[in-house]
Structure 1
Amino acid sequence: MKKYNLPTASQKVETVILANGEFPSYSIPLSILNHCNYLVCCDGATNNLYKTSKSPDAIVGDCDSLSEDNRIRYSSIIHCISEQETNDLTKAVNFCRERDLKTITIVGATGKREDHTIANISLLCEYMNDCEAQIITDYGIFIAIDRPAVFESKIGQQVSIFSIDRCSITTNGLKYPIKNQTFNNWWQATLNESTETEFSIDTNGRTIIYRAF
């Protein structure tokens, strides 16, 4: 059973995708962004990198929101993909997968427009069969699973479960136990709480787990 650890500010990850939502300000996502080995920016997100000392290794997207200065400065690493069947985040994830970069941390994926936030979080379910992707925000971590998993936690940590498919879910280590329940709406398994230093979730359908910082 796979275990998902909590991210830390001292953690160094291989690949980060910076999306064009709210630029991170909390120490954990900001440190992960600053210290990653390989940084892919969704095109317009590049405009916010002046807030760090980091430079992108690749810029991916339809290039509709990239500033002219950055278009010139980073011309050699821009990968412009004009098709509109996918958003810039998915273009960036596909770019990584094609280069065998399959452990991906996504920051800047939430905030600003709510429809973009919901779409980006739900896309974790599309990515999980080909790579291991997580979204880290200023407030917590989103991960998608479709099989039993264990999650590192802290006692009292707030936990929410979003059942995308109608599937049976069982939990261990949460304040409000769930046993072989099927949920009809996203809100129904939210606002739970960890009672241990780890908890487990048994599911066979697409399920998104949120752990708050």
Structure 2
Amino acid sequence: MKAVIVAGGKAPNKDLFLCEIEDADYLIAADSGVNVFYKYNVEPNVILGDFDSAKHEAINSFKEVEIVKFKPEKDFTDSELAFKNAIEHGADEIVLLGCTGTRLDHTVANIGLLKRALDLNIKAIIKDENNCIFLVSKGVELQGSHGQTISFQAFGESVRNFYIADAKYPLYDYNLQFGDGRTVSNEFIDKSIKIDFSAGIVMVIYSND
């Protein structure tokens, strides 16, 4: 089951929003994420959060939608509450929109949700107009178009014996550390790139300007 969460960071544009909800089974508006649903006249399945930034007009427009309100003084971000809600409703795929933006602290916490999803064997990805971010714990073949930019970072501990094949800049038997610039801004030269490693977790970032 695919769930789409729209949180209160940088709002997704119309094309991205409509593309992701088209085949979704469950839609969650996290706090001011409800403003996006209101703007594009799409009804979510649930609206949740402390509503410190959501427009009351947007919340009140959805008369038949479940609304779950939390106190501002809580131990979880609105995105995390939405993530928990998606899992409780059986999601095995979660797309996180509105989870990047000006608040770097929230962005980092939202990337942490990707790790939680990985541990639960749930496919999860953060998307905005410029980036797609997800984590992998084993070798994969990645799809893309010629010249498309892709970067890799170690998530947490170092990634052992990391290699990149069929990319513009191949790499072999490399111990990848977080913040390493060597794996930033690689490019597709064909339709796929292969990566593999013996230990660790890799953060994959498709990006464009």
Residue 117 of structure 1 is aligned with which of 84, 107, 114?
A: 107
Query: Where do 5+ consecutive residues of structure 2 fail to align?
Result: none
1:12-27 aligned at under 5 Å gives the runs: 14-25=2-13, 27=15
Residue 35 of structure 2 is aligned with which of 47, 64, 76?
A: 47
Tell me the distance in 2 between the aligned counterparts of 1:137 and 1:67. 22
Encode CA deviations 1:106-141: one digit per residue, 9 max, x unaligned: 111111223322332343122212211111110131
Encode CA deviations 1:15-70: one digit per residue, 9 max, x unaligned: 2111111111263x232245234210112211233321211111122333333334
Give the aligned residue type for 2:67: I
Give the aligned residue type for 1:201: I
- Work out whether residues 153 and 177 of structure 2, in 8 Å CA contact, stay in contact via their aligned partners in 1: no
Give the equivalent residue in structure 1 for 2:67.
78
Over the residues paired in the alignment, what is the CA RMSD in angstroms? 2.3
Residue 154 of structure 2 is aligned with which of 146, 163, 168?
A: 163
Give the equivalent residue in structure 1 for 2:185.
191
Tell me the distance in 1 between the aligned counterparts of 2:203 and 2:125. 10
The percent identity for this pair of structures is 24
Tell me the distance in 1 between the aligned counterparts of 2:178 and 2:4. 31
Tell me the distance in 1 between the aligned counterparts of 2:149 and 2:21. 27
Do residues 89 (structure 1) and 79 (structure 2) align? yes
Give the aligned residue type for 1:142: I
1:25-44 aligned at under 5 Å gives the runs: 25=13, 27=15, 29-35=16-22, 36-44=24-32
Do residues 142 (structure 1) and 124 (structure 2) align? no
Identify if the C-alpha distance between structure 1 residues 173 and 81 changes in structure 2 by more than 3 Å, giving closer, same or farther. Answer: farther
Identify if the C-alpha distance between structure 1 residues 15 and 185 changes in structure 2 by more than 3 Å, giving closer, same or farther. Answer: closer
Q: How many correspondences in the alignment? A: 200
Give the equivalent residue in structure 2 for 1:106.
96
Tell me the distance in 2 between the aligned counterparts of 1:50 and 1:81. 21
Tell me the distance in 1 between the aligned counterparts of 2:38 and 2:123. 28
Tell me the distance in 1 between the aligned counterparts of 2:78 and 2:167. 36
Secondary structure of the 2:124 match is strand
